[in-house]
Amino acid sequence: MDRMAQQAEDPRVSAIFRALAAGDHERAIALAERHWSFLSSFRGEVRRAVADEVLRAHPSWAVVRQGLRHAALGRLRPTVWVAPDLPLPPGSSANERIVALTARAMAARSRGRLDEALGLTAQARQLLRAATPRDLEGGRFNLAEVHQEWAQISAFAGHADDAVVLFERAFSLATELRHPRAAMDAAAELAWLAAVSGRRGASLGWLLRLEQLRADQPDVRGTRESDRIARALLLLDELDLAGARSELAAIEDAREHELLRRALGALVDAHDPLCDPDTALAHLNGEIEAVYDGWTSARLNAVVLGAARSRLLQRSGQPERALRALPDAQPSQELSFEAGRAASLLHLLGEHERASSLTSRILAAPTLSPRVRADALVARAAIELRRGDDGRAAETFSRALRVIDEHRLLVALTIVPADELRALGAVLPAADPGARLARHVVDTSVAFPSAGLDHRLTARERTVLSLLAGGLTVVEAAARLTVSANTVKTQVRSLYRKLGVHDRQGLSVVARTRGLL
């Protein structure tokens, strides 16, 4: 469509192009800012025309110009976002300083420098809190998008509660400013964050708002496709692997969430019994190399990547590596896949006391997401059953099933072996409504972890294993450790039993496979 056609189509567009044609950049900017919500949602090409032609003396529009060029590259855009050089002469408005700080924070985030991004965001937010309506005159047009950038930084840094507050504020501002695209983006992100924590009802609520916005404004398309990531995770939670894959495959441009999309795809594969875990893990590692490394350090990415890697390593018979793949976290953190799953892995490795202690700490946390609570309760029930306390196991498992049923977190039941899940279902009272749910998951075509080990290797056994794998004989190892050869032979027999092998060669192979060396 040529410029004359655009002018005739809408009086707001016509006025902006007349100002540009006359070289009146100040008026063009003022008109674009006044009608920002309309232009941003419906007429992006007008934003580009203004951003390309106005003077760079306006920092806020320098950011717009750079951002539009970056976004226009689509899948070809570089992961690292380069902030424009924003001149801030004396007397710059509060809005211009807020935008400049936000642009620098966005660039730092794209490089994985999240602490720097959080610091710049804090400065921008402080400026906004101190600003008067007069200070922000002419700057309210982009407040919804600024809040979204701050929220993204908080989310990637793992500060989920703060991110939710900021996205909710962005949604409120977008609604107030009649900015449907920004409202769609905020709703999609809120749906995704709710799904990560296992809050199914909240996630579905934001997805419903998003669909209503799309129905009201069918010509508007959101910037991100985080809603598909949210739906994929909700489907995985219900063990609908085909549905989850379909949602992920439909994503055309995940933007900042590209690494999350790939990690979630690997997590789906990790639950598929027909998927070879070693192949899936190699594929995931190869995909990660295609994404800028700085993004892997982001807390949000690390959590989902850790969950996927851990599950795949567990499936491939490497429980120790699976445990190490889970990033450390406090169980009260909203963005936490791993707290309850670490307890389950410890249980499978035979470290029942450590697993029990961890579940106690998790369940005593003052705030706990449904996902972590469900995982911890399932692991706890399995530990109690192992101890022979059927009554307590039944009570704990019943609590777990209530959380799982409320939020449809069926995936939590797959953190224990199928035989343990059957045994837990068997100790439930016949009238317990959760018994049917447990039986349903056992019968579902999904991969379960293998049965746990009776014991984990002791520190001395690990040392002996390392010496033998390094080529030392039993006598040489005994001399190195200043113990008798018979003592080392006893430890070797224990290693054979625990690792299920019968000779030195098998011992080395299995130890390397399980990540013990």
pLDDT in tens, 351-375: 888 889 989 988 988 888 899 999 9
Cβ pair 75, 68 in contact under 8 A: no
Question: What pLDDT does residue 62 have?
Answer: 57
Nearest alpha-carbon partner for 228 in 189, 286, 283: 189
Radius of gyration of the chain (CA): 28
Read off the amino acid at residue 81: W
Helix axes 258-270, 299-315, angle to 10 degrees: 20
Question: What pLDDT does residue 175 have?
Answer: 92
Q: How far apart are CA 335 and CA 302, in angstroms?
A: 10
Nearest alpha-carbon partner for 116 in 294, 259, 289: 294
Question: What pLDDT does residue 424 have?
Answer: 93
Confidence of residue 323 (pLDDT cuts 50, 70, 90): confident
The owner of tokens 């006025």 is 15
Helix axes 94-110, 143-156, angle to 10 degrees: 30
More confident: 455 or 275: 275
Question: What pLDDT does residue 68 have?
Answer: 47
The pair of three-digit structure tokens given for residue 363, joined into one six-digit string: 């369940």
Tens digit of each residue's pLDDT (9 = 90 or more) over 61-72:
555 555 544 444
Question: Rounded mean pLDDT of 31-35?
Answer: 69
pTM of this structure? 0.78
Question: What pLDDT does residue 3 have?
Answer: 41
Question: Does 405 score more than 70 pLDDT?
Answer: yes
Cβ pair 400, 381 in contact under 8 A: yes
Question: What pLDDT does residue 36 have?
Answer: 65
**What SS3 state is found at 368?**
coil
Nearest alpha-carbon partner for 263 in 305, 325, 292, 310: 305
Question: What pLDDT does residue 331 have?
Answer: 43
Question: What pLDDT does residue 14 have?
Answer: 77
- Taken as a whole, the chain contains a residue count of 517
Read off the amino acid at residue 445: S
Question: Does 74 score more than 60 pLDDT?
Answer: no
Question: Rounded mean pLDDT of 473-494?
Answer: 88
Q: How far apart are CA 350 and CA 461, in angstroms?
A: 15
Question: What pLDDT does residue 411 have?
Answer: 95
Read off the amino acid at residue 384: E
More confident: 54 or 399: 399
Question: What pLDDT does residue 200 have?
Answer: 96
Tens digit of each residue's pLDDT (9 = 90 or more) over 220-276:
777 778 999 999 999 999 999 999 999 999 998 777 788 889 999 999 999 999 999
Question: What pLDDT does residue 47 have?
Answer: 66
Question: What pLDDT does residue 269 have?
Answer: 96
Question: Rounded mean pLDDT of 22-32?
Answer: 71
**What SS3 state is found at 55?**
coil
Q: Alpha carbon of 401 to those of 253, 406, 415: distances in Å?
A: 36, 8, 14
Cβ pair 14, 21 in contact under 8 A: no
Question: Does 150 score more than 60 pLDDT?
Answer: yes
Q: How far apart are CA 511 and CA 491, in angstroms?
A: 15
